[in-house]
C-alpha cells in the first residue's frame, strides 16, 4: 500500500451553531478518482474549503504526503501541489482562453524571468500552449472565456487548475449545469487526467461517480456516513436511505 496523498483526521467546521463538517476522517490514495457525494447542504464544499485552505478547521488535522498542512494557506498548499476548481465558474471572462492559461501558468517561470511580461515569459507561453493542445482548446484560444459554451468553460477551468502540474486536484461539481454530451466529455477528460494526478471529485451525477471512482465517500448533514468502493457504497442501506432514496 502506498502512503495516502491526503489524510483528513476528525475535521470539524462550525458556522455559528451549525456544524457544517463534523468529525470527518478519510484517506485519499494516490492517483485515480476519489469522489465525495451527498445531498445538498451535506458539507461537501465546506470540506473542500478545509482541504484547500480557504477555511482552517475548528478542530482536526490535515496531512499531505505525511506533512501537517492544517494551518497552511491556499498558496502554500498550491506550492505543495494541491489545486482546486470551484462550484461556480471562476475564469477571467474578458480575457482570451490563451490569456487565462498564461496567467495560470505564470508561477512556473524561474527567477528573474518571473517578472517579465507574461507575453515574454518562455515557461508561461510554453505551458499555455501545452494546455491548449491537451484540453482541445486551440481553436478557441483567441476567444474571450466569457464567449465559450458552458462545457468549454468548465474544460478551460480544469486546464487552468492543471497549469502548475498539481499532484492532487479538487474538482467541485465540474459537470454542474452541463448538457449530457458535455458531461460525457468531461467524464472522459477526468478519467484521462486521473492516470497522472490524484483527483478528489464532488459530484451529484451518481452514474458518473460510479463509473469514474475507485473510492467513494458519502456525506450527510456534515458527517461521513459511509465510504468504500462504488458497488459497496451503492448497496449500503444507510446510503440508500440518506442519499439514493428509491432511485438506488
Ligand X SMILES: Nc1ncnc2c1ncn2[C@@H]1O[C@H](COP(=O)(O)OP(=O)(O)OP(=O)(O)O)[C@@H](O)[C@H]1O
**Locate cell 472565456: which residue?**
145
CA-CA-CA-CA dihedral for 63, 69, 74, 78, to nearest 10: -70
140 binds, among ligand X, Mg ion, none (CB under 5 to 8 A by kind): none
- Give the contact letters, 188-227, x = binds to Mg ion (CB under 5 A), - = no: ----------------------------------------
Question: Measured from the CB of residue 171, what is the shortest distance to ligand X in angstroms?
Answer: 13
Q: How far apart are CA 145 and CA 97, in angstroms?
A: 5
168 neighbors 6 (Cβ within 8 angstroms): yes
Q: Is 100 in the site for ligand X (CB under 6 A)?
A: no
Distance (Å, whole) CA 136 – CA 139:
8
Peptide bond into 112 cis (omega under 30): yes
User: Which one of residues 40, 110, 119, 180 is an interface residue with ligand X (CB under 6 A)?
Assistant: 40
- The owner of cell 528573474 is 112
Residue 52 found at the interface with Mg ion (CB under 5 A): no
Strand-by-strand arrangement of the 33-37 sheet = 82-84, 168-172, 198-202, 33-37, 215-220, 223-228
Q: Which is nearer to ligand X, 38 or 57 (CB)?
A: 38
Q: Which stretch binds ligand X (CB under 6 A): 41-49, 101-109, 142-150, 227-235?
A: 41-49
Residues 6+ apart with CB under 8 A from 2: 29, 30
Closer residue to Mg ion (CB): 64 or 170: 170
- Binding string, 46-65, against ligand X, x = CB under 6 A? x-------------------
Write the binding mask 144 to 183 for ligand X: x where contact by CB under 6 A, - elsewhere. ----------------------------------------
Residues in touch with ligand X (CB under 6 A):
15, 18, 20, 38, 40-46, 87
Amino acid at each position: 500500500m502506498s502512503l495516502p496523498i491526503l489524510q483528513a483526521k476528525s475535521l470539524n467546521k462550525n458556522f455559528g451553531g451549525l456544524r457544517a463538517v463534523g468529525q470527518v476522517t478519510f484517506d485519499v490514495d494516490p492517483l485515480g478518482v476519489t469522489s465525495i457525494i451527498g445531498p445538498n447542504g451535506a458539507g461537501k464544499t465546506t470540506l473542500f474549503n478545509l482541504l484547500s485552505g480557504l477555511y482552517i478547521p475548528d478542530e482536526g488535522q490535515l496531512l499531505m504526503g505525511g506533512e501537517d498542512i492544517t494551518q497552511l494557506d491556499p498558496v502554500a498548499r498550491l506550492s505543495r501541489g494541491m489545486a482546486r476548481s470551484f462550484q461556480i465558474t471562476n475564469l477571467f471572462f474578458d480575457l482570451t482562453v490563451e490569456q487565462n492559461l498564461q496567467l495560470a501558468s505564470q508561477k512556473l517561470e524561474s527567477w528573474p524571468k518571473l517578472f517579465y511580461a507574461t507575453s515574454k515569459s518562455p515557461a508561461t507561453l510554453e505551458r499555455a500552449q501545452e494546455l491548449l493542445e491537451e484540453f482541445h482548446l486551440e481553436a478557441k484560444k483567441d476567444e474571450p472565456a466569457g464567449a465559450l459554451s458552458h462545457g468549454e468553460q468548465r474544460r478551460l477551468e480544469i486546464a487552468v487548475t492543471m497549469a502548475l502540474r498539481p499532484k492532487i486536484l479538487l474538482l467541485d461539481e465540474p459537470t454542474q449545469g452541463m448538457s449530457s454530451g458535455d458531461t460525457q466529455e468531461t467524464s472522459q477528460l477526468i478519467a484521462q487526467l486521473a492516470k497522472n494526478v490524484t483527483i478528489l471529485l464532488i459530484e451529484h451525477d451518481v452514474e458518473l461517480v460510479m463509473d469514474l471512482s475507485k473510492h467513494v465517500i458519502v456525506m450527510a448533514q456534515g458527517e461521513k456516513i459511509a465510504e468504500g468502493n462504488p458497488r459497496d457504497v451503492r448497496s449500503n442501506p444507510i446510503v440508500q436511505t440518506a442519499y439514493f432514496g428509491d432511485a438506488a
